[in-house]
Amino acid sequence: MKYYIIAGEASGDLHAGNCMKEIKKKDPSAQFAFTGGGLMEEVSGRKADINIREMAFMGFVNVLLNIRTINRNFKIVKEQILKFRPDLLVLVDYPGFNLRMAKWAWEQGIKVDYYISPTVWAWKENRVEQIKKYVHKLFVILPFEEAFYQRHNHKVYFVGHPLIDAIEQQRPNFRSKESFIKENKLSGKPIIAVLPGSRIQEIERMLHIMLEVIPDFKDYEFVVAGSTNLPASRYEILHKHGIKVVFNQTYELMLHAEAGVIKSGTSTLESGLMRLPQVVCYKMAKLNYMIGKQVVKIKYISLVNLIMDKPIVKELIQDELNSANIAKELRLLLFDKTYRETMLNEYDALIKHLGGTGASERLATHLVEDASVK
């Protein structure tokens, strides 16, 4: 069978890559074409039609500024899909682009499955009707999404959260703390992990605030998780100031750190699954934030809090994101034993709630079956 897969961000590349591995086990003759990143390229043995570096635009204003690039990407992908003639088009998250693509593909008579629901429960609830019309099967990864879609008389398939698989696959290869410190030439002080995100705008807007607390924690070493989707030059200023940056070692960094300063997004859930006490940071351009406040209707921004529907981790949003507030929360995470243990116990409940391992395998079973039915 032939599968065209569209992922537009680093998390999509990760989850799509793991799904492709499972598809190959069930469909050894599977052929792939895709937009995505290095993980999907490694599994498939071919280059992405468009790399995620050319697709990740954050915020209302930035999308408008890059609308010509986005439209060009859309045109290229349409041409590649028609050329490849897939048995199944698999859309992974990335809703601004992928919902448009779902409509176009439906008009072409191409079967569309969607993996990782757009956050219609947070904003643009009217998109549920688009999904019902243009998507053959929708596979969700958050438990509460099943109930949400049931209220709209739409059947969806909860397959579990793929991050559990991603972490467990890597766990046997994790180095000891001593090896991690030695091979990265760290000081040996207790580690505080800093995850500023994988987009240029996030790095520019938040990283310097995250690191302003370093003088308050002289007995700790702050280590930044760098993104290979960004040019190395983005991190040169950190090297000049003696701040270590590690690449492709995020889970090990989480494992060996005492606490984390984490940008809101997938990494907040990864920190929870790795049982890393964390403070969550989020800051947008002021105009984007003002627009967002009018249209987004969720109580929390971190996935940990959203999934459990209560404030397990502290969220510092917009003007609340400053060095004083980060330092205050880090002190609680590091030095208040009861506070720390409560968060870790909540993490255990989170892991159980997400359904355990096997999400990628369950998804692949559905996709292979769907691709084979004309």
Residues 318-345 pLDDT 10s: 889 999 999 999 999 999 999 999 999 9
* 89 pLDDT above the threshold of 80: yes
d(CA 49, CA 360): 23
What pLDDT band is residue 237 in, cutting at 50, 70 and 90? confident
Residues 108 and 243 reside in one and the same domain: no
Which residues are CB-neighbours of 106 under 8 A, at least 6 positions away? Answer: 112, 133, 134
**Average pLDDT, stretch 250-263?**
97
Percentage of the chain modeled with pLDDT above 90: 70
**What is the average pLDDT value for the chain, to the nearest integer?**
90
Domain that residue 367 falls in: 2-160+358-372
Can you point out the beta strands (E) in 16-136? 31-35, 88-92, 112-115
Residues 349 and 362 reside in one and the same domain: no
Residues 253 and 343 reside in one and the same domain: yes
d(CA 102, CA 256): 42
250-260: burial string, b at 16+ Cβ within 10 Å, e else: bbbbbbbbbbb
**Average pLDDT, stretch 102-117?**
96
Residues 274 and 303 reside in one and the same domain: yes
| C-alpha 266 chain-centroid distance | 4
What pLDDT band is residue 209 in, cutting at 50, 70 and 90? very high
Give me the sign of the Cα torsion angle 315, 307, 93, 288: negative
* 287 pLDDT above the threshold of 80: no
What pLDDT band is residue 265 in, cutting at 50, 70 and 90? confident
* 2 pLDDT above the threshold of 60: yes
Pull the structure tokens for residue 103: 């409509």
Residues 176 and 296 reside in one and the same domain: yes
Residues 366 and 329 reside in one and the same domain: no
Q: Which of 205, 12, 192 is nearest to 118 (CA)?
A: 12
CB atoms within 10 A of CB 8: 26
Pull the structure tokens for residue 270: 């990864």
What pLDDT band is residue 289 in, cutting at 50, 70 and 90? low
* 114 pLDDT above the threshold of 90: yes
Q: Reading across the β-sheet that carries 112-115, which strands appear in turn?
A: 31-35, 2-7, 88-92, 112-115, 137-140, 157-158
* 309 pLDDT above the threshold of 60: yes
Residues 302 and 250 reside in one and the same domain: yes
Q: Which of 8, 16, 15, 101 is nearest to 53 (CA)?
A: 8
Residues 342 and 365 reside in one and the same domain: no
d(CA 89, CA 1): 11
What pLDDT band is residue 355 in, cutting at 50, 70 and 90? confident
Max Cα–Cα distance, the chain, nearest Å: 63
* 284 pLDDT above the threshold of 80: no
Q: What is the CATH number of the domain that holds 86?
A: 3.40.50.2000
What pLDDT band is residue 223 in, cutting at 50, 70 and 90? very high
Q: Which spans in 228-309 are helix H?
A: 236-240, 250-256, 266-273, 286-295, 303-308
Residues 123 and 210 reside in one and the same domain: no
Q: What is the pLDDT of residue 374?
A: 77
Q: What is the pLDDT of residue 220?
A: 97
Residues 225 and 263 sit within 8 Å (Cβ to Cβ):
no
Count of domains forming the chain: 2
Least confident of 16-20, 111-115, 186-190, 295-299: 295-299
pLDDT, tens only, 143-163: 889 988 999 999 999 999 999
SS3 4: strand
Residues 266 and 331 reside in one and the same domain: yes
d(CA 332, CA 27): 50
Residues 222 and 203 reside in one and the same domain: yes
Q: Can you name the residues that pair with 92 across neighbouring β-strands?
A: 7, 115
Pull the structure tokens for residue 91: 């859309």
Out of 6-15, 203-212, 311-320, give the one with best mean pLDDT. Answer: 311-320
* 58 pLDDT above the threshold of 70: no
Residues 155 and 202 reside in one and the same domain: no
Q: Which residue has the higher pLDDT, 295 or 117?
A: 117
